[in-house]
Amino acid sequence: MYSTEEELIFKANDAKGKTFSEIDIHNRLLKNTKGQFGHIIEESLFGYDINSNAKPDFEELDIELKVTPIKINKNKTFSSKERLVLNMINYMNEPYVDFLNSSFWYKNKKLLLMFYLWLPDTQRKDFRIIDSFIYTYPEEDLEIIKNDWKIITNKIKAGKAHELSEGDTFYLGACTKGANSKSLREQPFSKTLAKKRAYSLKQSYMTTLVRQRINGNEMTKFTSSDKLKKNTIEELIELNFSSYYGKTLSNLSKELNIPINKNSKSYIPQFISAMLGIRGTKLTQIEEFAKADIKFKSVRIEANGIPKESMSFKNIDFNKWQDEEQWEKSTLYTSFEKSKLLFIVLEYKESKEANPDRQLYFKKVKLWNMPLEILNNELQNIWIETKKILDDGIDIQYVKRGCLVVEKNNLPKSNFNGVAHIRPKARNAQDKYLLKDGQKITKQCFWLNSKYVAEILK
């Protein structure tokens, strides 16, 4: 029906500014079926019959239609509300083809993206389409996506489809799909059943796209398509940093011409962007890391290889934690499942006793995401235990310690299962969080145990 992209986008633009109830001429909104927004657009706007096959929606143009929500943040920027879910991964077929013959590439090489604005406390029918455009992957993104596809299919080939995690890859993810976590499928190289998964563009990828397009956000890349044709993004990260390994921070300071301020740790982000060859760029503005949801964490390890301190994460919203019903939808699960951490490992080669003025050395970087097994065992147990404690009411005690009165609690400690614990992180002891039962507790955060971090870095 549409013989050129121009015709298609011209038609798509008819929907701009309209709500779904204004677009819907077949009263599809009455039925509460999933994916209904895509169906309304297909049927009422483009006059297509609804299909659910392996072909792209606009087959003659090789274009797949995707209707997807964005939301406004408190600071007025936009974020994608979700990852963009693409076609199902058929574990039995996908390992036997190459990328260009894959189901992903066949169906999703070109997308007609139609963004609608999701608003809280608003009826679905009143959401408005705010932007539509045809999306093709930039050359450098496509190289990363090809490699992601390879990571996914290699895991299937290794008989590990059941261990797939969104954090394994950079832009293209394998996200769970199915009525619940019990909808399992067989895989070709293992008897273990694996969760149903679909290809998806990560939420962080979509958010970056939205901010570039709608907020006009400009980001900086440290790679290029030429470089990505020769090396994977992981190799390029290693290549950029490895020439600085073994140097002291004071040598790095001279070499990179970035002063070290003893009272501030802000020189480390400056070192990082300089080592990546994009001096002056804020870490949040590095395109590859924003799209892939890679977060930097600097670690100082002692001469024995173990960090002196555990690693802290975001503050805990206990009331939200208590309300969470599904582990896979919890903040704890999602934050570790989709993200990668890039550890910047700094090392003391001598003990503090041997040399109080000891130097810090830049040892290495390590890109890491939490293995699904740890996530679904140790971390899930902490989540369950904490929920139980919250339901029972945290046991908060005030105990004298010298001239101070300190607050004690019964939240999971570092000996709970060796991976993580919950501990205070606040401005001071008066900086409290109000719990549902009316108790106040010093603000707490989630920590990875120092010994577990040492194990990761080994």
Partner DNA sequence: GCATGATCATGC
List of residues contacting DNA (CB under 7 A): 261, 263-266, 268, 282, 295, 297-298, 300, 306, 309-310, 312-315, 401-402, 404-409, 413-415, 421, 423-431, 442-443, 450-451
Quote the CA–CA distance of 93 and 91 in Å, as a whole number. Answer: 6
Contacts for 296 with CB less than 8 Å, ≥ 6 apart: 269, 272, 283, 289, 341, 342, 344
Residue closer to DNA, measured from CB, 103 or 298: 298
Q: Show the CA angle centred on residue 156, arms to residues 56 and 110, nearest 5°.
A: 20
CB of 302 to DNA, least distance (A): 8
Question: Do 91 and 111 contact (CB within 8 A), yes or no?
Answer: no
8-state DSSP, 50? P
Give dist(CA 389, CA 379) in Å, integer.
15
- Coil, strand or helix at 131: strand
Number of Cβ within 10 Å of residue 43's Cβ equals: 18
Residue located via tokens 């959401």:
127
Please state, in angstroms and rounded to a whole number, the distance separating the CA atoms of residues 380 and 365.
28
Cα–Cα dist 208/195, whole Å: 28
Shortest Å distance, C-beta 231 to DNA: 28
Q: Which is nearer to DNA, 75 or 180 (CB)?
A: 75
In angstroms, give the least distance from the CB of 204 to DNA.
Answer: 15
Nearest approach, Cβ of residue 220 and DNA (Å):
15
Query: Which residue lies nearer to DNA by CB, 249 or 374?
Result: 249
Least distance to DNA, CB of residue 417, Å: 12
Write down the residue that tokens 């309300």 correspond to: 323
Q: Tell me whether residue 199 or residue 289 sits nearer to DNA (CB atom).
A: 289
- Which of residues 242 and 266 has its CB atom nearest to DNA in the complex? 266
Amino acid at 413: K
Closer by beta carbon to DNA, 55 or else 413: 413
> How many whole angstroms separate alpha carbon 318 and alpha carbon 339?
22
| Residue 288: CB minimum distance to DNA, A | 19
What is the Cα 32 distance to its own chain's centre?
A: 29
Q: How far is the CB of 232 from DNA (least distance, A)?
A: 26
**């235990």: which residue's tokens?**
385
In terms of CB distance, is 240 or 450 closer to DNA? 450
51 vs 284, beta carbon nearer DNA: 284
Q: How far is the CB of 251 from DNA (least distance, A)?
A: 18
8 A C-beta contact, residue 93 and residue 48: no
Nearer to DNA, 27 or 312 (CB): 312
Tokens of 291: 């799209």
Task: Output 55 or 282, the one with its CB closest to DNA.
Answer: 282
Report whether 421 contacts 310 (CB < 8 A). Answer: yes
Q: How far is the CB of 372 from DNA (least distance, A)?
A: 23
d(CA 54, CA 373): 32
Least Å from the CB of residue 211 to DNA: 14
C-alpha distances out from residue 182 to 87, 176, 179, 223, 404, Å: 19, 11, 8, 40, 51
